[in-house]
């Protein structure tokens, strides 16, 4: 039988919740401070790249469309006929790009996968997220992705593109809807790495 949280009185629950709320507010203020620091990051001029898209060659600058800012996710290339489960999970949760655009941010996903491989997978998954192949370019290496996944943010000033931010690993994880909702649920994500009470259901991350 799966273990359950302790059952307490309403008063005891309110006290425990208040203690957690105090800690959550501290974390929120820290996140606000980090966001403020992030907005003060300098930027670095980035080179010119041409990717392959379903509609033909597209440059990094053209991925901005009419926006001044661009969030770009690098989907791992793990070989022919194989697809990164983490990147797949992430892309499943990329939605409401119109909301980003209304605040001046475009979105694109690129990968060192060949375009045909990406196109087939996008069709299979039913994704409408804009994508392009960076195969045969140095873009992934120049971003420092190291063969992994990465989120980079770019800003353009006219026709000049600058890189302002990048994050990977848990920095990307915190952007996802499902894991963050699961973090609020009593059993959490139910993954082996989590610090959970004895008896809580847990499984490998991609099990």
Where do the domains of the chain lie?
Answer: 10-40, 44-173
CB atoms within 10 A of CB 120: 13
Looking at the predicted structure, is the pLDDT value of residue 166 above 70? Answer: yes
What is the topology classification, in CATH, of domain 44-173? Answer: Glutaredoxin (3.40.30)
Percent of the chain with pLDDT over 70: 99
| 167 Rama class: left (phi>0) / alpha (psi -120 to 50) / beta | beta
- Please state the rounded mean pLDDT for residues 140-169: 94
Quickly state the pLDDT bin for 131 (edges 50, 70, 90): very high
pLDDT in tens, 82-124: 999 999 999 999 999 999 999 999 999 999 999 999 999 999 9
Give pLDDT, residue 161: 98
Mean of the per-residue pLDDT values of the chain: 94
Report the pLDDT averaged over residues 177-181: 91
Instruction: Extract the runs of DSSP E, i.e. beta strands, from 44-130.
Output: 44-45, 50-53, 56-59, 69-75, 105-111
4-49 pLDDT, tens digit per residue, is 999 999 999 999 999 999 999 999 999 999 999 999 999 999 999 9
Half-sphere exposure of 121 (CA within 13 A, CB side): 27
List phi, psi (to 5°) of 40.
-100, 5
* pLDDT over 70 at 198, yes or no: yes
Amino acid 207: pLDDT: 60
Q: What is the mean pLDDT of residues 167-186?
A: 89
DSSP conformational letter for 114? -
pLDDT score of 174: 87
Asked if the model's pLDDT at residue 146 lies above 90, the reply is no
pLDDT value at residue 57: 98
CA distances, 184 to each of 24, 181, 206 (Å): 12, 5, 20
Q: Is the pLDDT of residue 206 over 80?
A: no
Which of 75, 30, 28, 37 is CA-nearest to residue 164? 37
10 three-class SS = helix
Find out whether 150 and 69 touch, Cβ atoms under 8 Å.
no
């Amino acid at each position: 039988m799966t273990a359950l949280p302790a059952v307490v009185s309403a008063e005891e629950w309110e006290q425990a919740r208040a203690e957690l709320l105090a800690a959550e507010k501290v974390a929120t203020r820290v996140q606000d401070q980090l966001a403020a620091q992030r907005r003060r990051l300098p930027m670095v001029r980035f080179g010119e790249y041409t990717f392959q898209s379903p509609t033909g060659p597209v440059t990094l600058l053209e991925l901005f469309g009419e926006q001044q800012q661009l969030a770009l996710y690098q989907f791992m290339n793990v070989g022919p006929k194989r697809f990164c489960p983490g990147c797949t999970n992430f892309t499943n949760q990329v939605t409401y790009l119109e909301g980003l655009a209304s605040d001046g941010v475009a979105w694109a996903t690129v990968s060192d996968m060949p375009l045909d491989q990406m196109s087939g997978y996008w069709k299979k998954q039913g994704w409408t997220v804009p994508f392009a192949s960076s195969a045969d370019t140095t873009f992934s290496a120049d971003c420092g992705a190291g063969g992994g996944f990465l989120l980079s943010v770019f800003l353009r000033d006219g026709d000049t593109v600058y890189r302002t931010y990048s994050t990977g690993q848990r920095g990307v994880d915190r952007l996802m809807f499902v894991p963050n909702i699961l973090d609020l649920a009593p059993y959490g994500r139910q993954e082996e790495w989590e610090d959970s009470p004895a008896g809580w259901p847990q499984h490998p991350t991609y099990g």
